[in-house]
Structure 1
């Protein structure tokens, strides 16, 4: 999974995942990673507090919108 990804690809995945306009499906299609792998990448690339805030935002938006991440 992350072992095959270059630092540039990891950076792009993080940037895409942080965006509110790009879904996990779009990231998966472009980079061939699953939503669980995206979450694992985010956990390793972000500080713990930043990761928790991101997960909360994704979860909250997902509860309000039918199609979000």
Structure 2
């Protein structure tokens, strides 16, 4: 999986957003241009294997991580660090 060059602050922010249950992969793509597979590859590269496995187990099948599967759109939490 080809990942673009990212600074340490950007990597930290992507990891933070990926850990958040209500931040969708689409929001990460919009803000950083990374598709879901790239986020997964980044998480795998940057995390300890046990932490990555725990994260994957938690987000697999989670409806809140995919915008089209969410049951709500309005009223979602928006971090002050999020650009859009």
For residue 32 of structure 1, report the CA deviation from its aligned partner. 0.4
TM-score by length of 1: 0.83
Can you give the 5+ residue segments of structure 2 that lack an aligned partner in the other structure? 64-68, 71-84
Which aligned runs of 4 or more in structure 1 are off by greater than 3 angstroms? none
TM-score for both structures, normalised by structure 2: 0.69
Name the structure, 1 or 2, with higher relative contact order (CA <8 Å, separation 6+). 2
Rg comparison, structure with higher value: 2
Shift of 1:16: 0.3
Taking the TM superposition and a 5 Å limit, the aligned residue runs for 1:1-69 are 2-62=3-63, 66-67=69-70
* Count of residue pairs brought into register by the alignment: 65
